[in-house]
Amino acid sequence: MLPPLRVTRIRKPWEHLAYAKRRHFTVSTDVLDLRLAVCLFSVAILLIFIPTARASFSYSLQVGAYGDPSSQGNLGVQVEIRTHIYDANQGDFDYFWVGDDLANGGFIQFGYSFSPGQYCLQGEVVGGAVATCPGGSANIGASDARWQWEYWPDENGDTNYLGIGPPNSAGDNGTWHSYSIIPNTSNGWDLVLDGQRIANIPFQPSQSKNAAYFVAEKVTSSNPGSLGPVEFRNLAYLMNNGWRTVRELYTLYGCGLNMSCDVVNPYGLSALAPNDVVAGFGLPVPKAGELLWSGSGDNTLALSVPGSAEVMIDGSYYGTGSMAFSLASGEHNVSVPALINIDARTRLRFDHWNDSSTATNRSLNLPTDLSLQAYYVLQYRLTIDSPITVTVSGAGWYDQNSTAPIHTTESQPIMPALGWCGGEWNFGGWYESGKLVTDSVNASIVMNSPHVLNLSWVMYPVGPALISLLIVIGSAVLIYRERQTRPTAIRPLVDNKRSMTLPIKPRAGSNVTGVPMVGEEPTPLRNVKTCRYCGAEVPQERFICNKCGMPAGYL
């Protein structure tokens, strides 16, 4: 069984908001005495029946800032946090996050933490103890900064869900990272770190009931120690018309919900620049609800971009989609991507701004409020596949409804080293999804969607020159074999000398004509055939006529 998660619920900082509903509890002395008596009786019962139980007091001390009232009702929040690496105390929990109190009663937060000890990396916590932990556990070191998210379906309940990232996933010391909480199309929440989704929470998204805010927090069972300090900047919130940066920041100072506040919170914060705050140990301790920064004298830069376009202002990543920024007058740098990939075969190409500029990374002077719109062109990819290596042109990206020229060769050698003799592939047509598009080697296709063209080839394995060569070789082989089988002249068994052999008289009725006497010329046997082409006599065992060189046969 994993030990209980050392995280106590850390929300409800909204008691001190000037525009939030304040909770006022007015009770009589008699009622208070009655409640105290009930509490003491309950404690006594616990001490009797659970003698091993010990009281444990924890502190959740928070300092941060929340945005102006216009950030209430947002659909998502985002802030940049600069990673500060230091050693946290064993058993403490140092957490730097951005979050929302949701109108549906839930609560969500996302940032990075130090949590030395053995922890569940992804699971469900009920009553402060880990109930399920499908993500496994890990022993986290004192200076191991990891991203972390938490979600409470009921901010006043005792059940929450959490996820903790891999070792050092908050980045190197001093690096900036953007933490975003964004609703997705599958009715859940996406946790996005530097533009990359690292987790999904499958709970119904909801608007916030309070302003967007960020917090530096210390959860400890001992006296407060060091916390950060850590820098936050560019607090932004998502509305129906896109992302907007806050125009004001107010101090958030106190302790978490249902936590002890019987110690002085030693942490403070300070505004370094517009929408840029450092919070933690060693800074001036504020009063809750003080105006920390106001951008009311600044100008608004409104950017209209596609929902998947990443926007950077003055080198800082602000997330994706249309947004509005509160910026001081003067020079500013705006950057949007040149290409936005939708899928493997569809993308957006930046074309121009509404002021005719074609630069994706541009500088502009902001003397007053300014609205910019980035125009993108939809592009489709043309893919050409061929079963053989062949010269082909036309594959690539094309603007929507443009015409893509395509070209290939009429034929291709099968065995290039043999040239024409090695056979060839002949072009058979352009096909898509098994259907013939065109049988011309020079053609075009309208790019009204992504297209995948397949080249068809017909094989002619033997060329005419090779056929002629094979005939010559075959004829030479036959001639060679014929010469090898030609009969040699038989030496006469007898010479011209006469023999004393007497003739044999044949038996009556025999077909034997007799044996010739020595010196008598034998009657030759007709063991030949006549060539059908030239009429010459050809021995039976020969196939080729010596006279005309043609295959011999009987007339």
* pLDDT tens digits, 293-319: 998 778 888 899 998 888 888 887 777
Residue listed under structure tokens 């996933």: 169
Amino acid at 340: I
Domain-by-domain residue ranges, the chain? 13-294, 297-374, 386-464, 525-555
Range 312-316 contact pairs with CB under 8 angstroms and sequence separation of 24 or more: 312/336, 313/234, 316/80, 316/176, 316/233, 316/234
CA separation for the pair 403, 305 (Å, rounded)? 27
Report the pLDDT averaged over residues 332-360: 94
CA separation for the pair 328, 429 (Å, rounded)? 62
Report the pLDDT averaged over residues 258-281: 87
Closest to 218 measured CA to CA, from 255, 249, 252: 255
CA separation for the pair 463, 425 (Å, rounded)? 11
pLDDT at 213 > cutoff 80: yes
Give me the sign of the Cα torsion angle 154, 155, 159, 165. positive
Higher pLDDT, 391 or 505: 391
Whole-model pTM: value is: 0.64
Write down the pLDDT at residue 522. Answer: 54
Range of lowest pLDDT (52-66, 232-246, 348-362, 502-516): 502-516
Tokens representing residue 305 in the block: 């971009």
Write down the pLDDT at residue 479. Answer: 81
Distance of CA 550 to the CA centre of its chain: 73
Q: CATH second-level architecture of 297-374? A: Sandwich (2.60)
Write down the mean pLDDT value for the chain: 80
Give me the sign of the Cα torsion angle 102, 105, 110, 111. positive
Q: Which residues pair with 362 in a beta bridge?
A: 334
Write down the pLDDT at residue 41. Answer: 40
Write down the pLDDT at residue 15. Answer: 30
Write down the pLDDT at residue 549. Answer: 74
Tokens representing residue 216 in the block: 């530096």
Would you place residue 57 in the very low, low, confident or very high pLDDT band (cuts 50, 70, 90)? very low
Range of lowest pLDDT (305-309, 331-335, 348-352): 305-309
> CA of 220: how far to CAs of 7, 56, 89, 424, in Å?
9, 11, 9, 79
Write down the pLDDT at residue 499. Answer: 44
H/E stretch holding 98: strand 93-101
Cβ–Cβ under 8 Å, residues 254 and 62: yes
Distance of CA 308 to the CA centre of its chain: 15
Distance of CA 152 to the CA centre of its chain: 29
Write down the pLDDT at residue 449. Answer: 95
Using alpha carbons only, give the angle 516, 517, 520 rounded to the nearest 5 degrees: 80
> CA of 130: how far to CAs of 118, 164, 240, 400, 476, in Å?
12, 14, 37, 53, 90
Using alpha carbons only, give the angle 94, 100, 130 rounded to the nearest 5 degrees: 55
Write down the pLDDT at residue 467. Answer: 64
Range of lowest pLDDT (214-223, 266-275, 314-323): 314-323
Write down the pLDDT at residue 480. Answer: 78
Would you place residue 42 in the very low, low, confident or very high pLDDT band (cuts 50, 70, 90)? very low
Write down the pLDDT at residue 209. Answer: 95
Q: Are strands 176-183 and 77-82 parallel, antiparallel or unpaired?
A: antiparallel
In the chain, count H helices and then E strands.
Answer: 2, 39
Amino acid at 470: L
CA separation for the pair 58, 239 (Å, rounded)? 37
Tokens representing residue 92 in the block: 């403490």
